[in-house]
Amino acid sequence: PSPLPTLIGKKRDGERLEDAEIRSFVRGVTEGTAQHGQIGAMLMAIWLRGMDAGETLALTQAMAASGRTLAWPPAWHGLVVDKHSTGGVGDKVSLALAPALAACGCKVPMISGRGLGHTGGTLDKLEAIPGFCISQSPEEMCSILERVGCCIVGQSEVLAPADRVLYGLRDVTATVDSVPLITASILSKKAAERLSALVLDVKFGGAALYPTQESARELARSLVEVGTQLGIRTVAVLSRMDQPLGRAVGNALEVLEALECLEGGGPPDLRQLVTVLG
C-alpha cells in the first residue's frame, strides 16, 4: 500500500480505499507508526467523504483483527450475546440489561466505551463504584462469564486496540457522528467477542448524536448490514432520546438507578427499554 499521506489524500479527494490500504492504515494506528495528526486527518477525510459498504466492512474487520479474538467453550454456542447503544443522556441500560440477560442463561462479554461527545460512558459509570476494575484479560473474562454470566470491560492493548486509539481521537476531532466510523467502532469490538446475536439501540432526538429518525435509521441499516456480513445475527431498535432516560444523570446516580431497575423498580421508561432490548 501507498504511504499514509497518499492514502489520506486519496480519501480526501473522494476516492475509494482498497482493503489492503485500509488494513495498512489500521496497522499504523495499532503499532504507533501513524502520527496523531495523520490519524486525525484520515478521520476527518472519512467524515467528509464517507465510505461505501465494502470500505466500512474492511475497516471493521481490520480493527477487529488488531487484537485478540475471544474464544468460548463449545457449550456456550448460541448463548453469547451483547447489546450496544449509540448513547444518550442518562442511558444506563447496559448496567441493568447485561445481568438480566445473564439471569436468563445468556453469556454477555460486553466490551464497552467511555463517554463520547456529550453522552456518558458505561465504563465511567462503573468506575463510580470504588475499586471496580474495567480492565480484564480474555482469560479473566471467560472466568467471570463462567461464574456470573456477564462482564463489562474496556478496550485494551489486547482487545480492539485500534478502536481504543480511534475512539479517543474521534472525540477531540469532531468526527464522532460518522456512520462508517461509528459502525466500525461498535462492530469491531463485537466481532472480537465472537457473538451469536447482537441488539443495537440506535438513539435519535435532541439529546442523541443523530437528531432525526431518518439519520438514525441510516446508521441502523449500516450496523445491521455489516454485523450480518460478519456472521452475527444483528437487529437494531430505534429509540427516542429527546430527554434523559430515567430520572438520574451522573455516573454514581445512574448506577444506583440501574440497581433499582434490577430490583424491579426504577423509572418506567428505563424498565421498558431494558425489556424491549432483552
C-alpha 35/C-alpha 40 separation (Å) is 9
Q: Is residue 207 part of a domain?
A: yes
Average pLDDT estimate for 128-146: 94
Tell me: the pLDDT tens digits for 20-64?
A: 999 999 999 999 999 999 999 999 999 999 999 999 999 999 999
Catalytic, 171? Answer no
Residue 228: all three cell numbers together: 450480518
Average pLDDT estimate for 8-17: 98
Q: Is residue 89 part of a domain?
A: yes
Catalytic, 36? Answer no
Catalytic, 92? Answer no
Give the pLDDT of residue 151.
97
* Structural domain for 31, as ranges: 4-65
Give the pLDDT of residue 113.
80
Q: Is residue 242 part of a domain?
A: yes
Question: Which position among 86, 122, 175, 222 bears the catalytic label?
Answer: 122
DSSP per-residue string spanning the chain: ---HHHHHHHHHTTPPPPHHHHHHHHHHHHHT-S-HHHHHHHHHHHHHH---HHHHHHHHHHHHTTSPPP---GGGTTTBEEEEE---TT--HHHHHHHHHHHTT-BEEEEE---BTTBPPHHHHHTTSTT------HHHHHHHHHHHSEEEEE--SSSSHHHHHHHHHHHHTT-TT-HHHHHHHHHHHHHHTT-SEEEEEEEESTTSSS-SHHHHHHHHHHHHHHHHHTT-EEEEEEEE-SS-SSS--SHHHHHHHHHHHHTT-S-HHHHHHHHHH-
Q: What is the total count of domains within the chain?
A: 2
Domain boundary among 18, 40, 65: 65
**Average pLDDT taken over every residue of the chain:** 94
Tell me: the pLDDT tens digits for 194-237?
A: 999 999 999 999 888 889 999 999 999 999 999 999 999 999 99
Say whether both 82 and 140 belong to one domain: yes
pTM: 0.89
Q: Is residue 164 part of a domain?
A: no
Say whether both 45 and 148 belong to one domain: no
pLDDT at 160 over 90: no
Q: 226: domain CATH number? A: 3.40.1030.10
What is the pLDDT confidence band of residue 158, given thresholds at 50, 70 and 90?
confident
Say whether both 54 and 84 belong to one domain: no
Say whether both 107 and 23 belong to one domain: no
Catalytic, 189? Answer yes
Give the pLDDT of residue 156.
76
Q: 42: domain CATH number? A: 1.20.970.10
Catalytic, 185? Answer yes
Q: Is residue 169 part of a domain?
A: no
Question: Which position among 66, 82, 178, 201 bears the catalytic label?
Answer: 82
